Amino acid sequence: MIRKIIKIDIVPFEKKYFSQLVDFVKPMWSFSTWEDSFRKIYTELILQNSFFENNLTFQIALPKDKLCSAMFFQNKSDKNNISKWIDENTKNLSKEKKQSINLCAEYLTYMDSKVHSLMNDDDIKLSLFVSCQKGYGSLIFNELINRLKNQNYKNLYLWTDCECNWQWYIKNNFTLIEEAIYPKFNEENKLFKTYIFKKQIG
């Protein structure tokens, strides 16, 4: 039996794949009771907050434009213009929906600031890690960690929360340096937990 071998390349992220990322994470990062159009805006806010115009955004995609995985990184000094994005994309939302967007943006800023306070200039932050196809997450992760090591980064930091697969980082030898509760997102019988991880790479 002859198997077709497909060459896998890790390349800079192309913005045309943002819509695929939104569709993939939308069920995990937004409420099913919301209108689909608002779910997309809410989810894209989280993705846009993680994206920086640097040389540290990567993807694996297969032929026919099928995204398999993506990883975005941030230096401590990197900035983006998420406030401008919010202003441009929420003009026509109701007051209630704008409040939800602002609550989310406040949470993202709060967690990002906590991680930045722990970082030195030679550390790096993992701002997004999404695997859309089984097996490709580990592939891109292992390769990019080696690249970062060769670029003399010392430590990799990230934050996540109880709505994500935070246990994956423990299984992959990250050190949990903080577990906390974000009370604004607590539900009646469920605490909203956040996690900050660190991995020495250099």
Q: What is the pLDDT along the chain (202 residues), one digit of tens a residue?
A: 333 444 568 999 999 999 999 999 999 999 999 999 999 999 999 999 999 999 999 999 887 788 999 999 999 999 999 999 999 999 999 999 999 999 999 999 999 999 999 999 999 999 999 998 888 888 899 999 999 999 999 999 999 999 999 999 999 999 999 999 999 999 989 999 999 999 999 8
Assessment of whether the complete model's pTM goes beyond 0.85: yes
Q: Which residues contact 167 (CB under 8 A, 6 or more apart)?
A: none
Q: What gap in Å lies between CA 38 and CA 89, rounded to an integer?
A: 10
| Beta partners for residue 6, in sequence order | none
